[in-house]
Amino acid sequence: MASKNAKVFFDIAVQSKPAGRMTFKLFNETVPKTAENFRALCTGEKGTGVSGKPLHFKDSFFHRIIPGALSQFIANF
């Protein structure tokens, strides 16, 4: 049986220059609510929150990236 896990991505830019793509596999079958929330934040499909801030990761800043290991970022919402 094929996996139902979704994949999402971030296109990364450094000083407005393309720097690559980070791809994430979401474990929908294990943590469905968390995976769906993260997916929606990647697409921005939820619009804005009750505070009026946009619910997406666009224009968020990375604090640290260690290739092949981890990334830490600061969301703009």
Pairing label, strands 70-74, 61-66: antiparallel
CA–CA gap between residue 70 and residue 45 (Å, rounded): 26
Longest dimension (CA), the chain: 43
pTM of the model: 0.78
User: Quick one: tokens of 55?
Assistant: 């619910």
User: Quick one: tokens of 27?
Assistant: 């474990």
Q: Which CATH number is associated with domain 7-74?
A: 2.40.100.10
Question: What residue spans define the domains of the chain?
Answer: 7-74
DSSP summary character for residue 31: S
Question: In this model, does residue 2 exceed pLDDT 70?
Answer: no
Would you call 23 helix, strand, or coil by DSSP?
A: strand
Question: In this model, does residue 1 exceed pLDDT 70?
Answer: no
17-73 pLDDT, tens per residue? 998 998 999 999 999 999 999 999 999 999 999 999 999 998 888 888 888 888 887
Phi, psi angles (nearest 5°) of residue 49: -85, 180
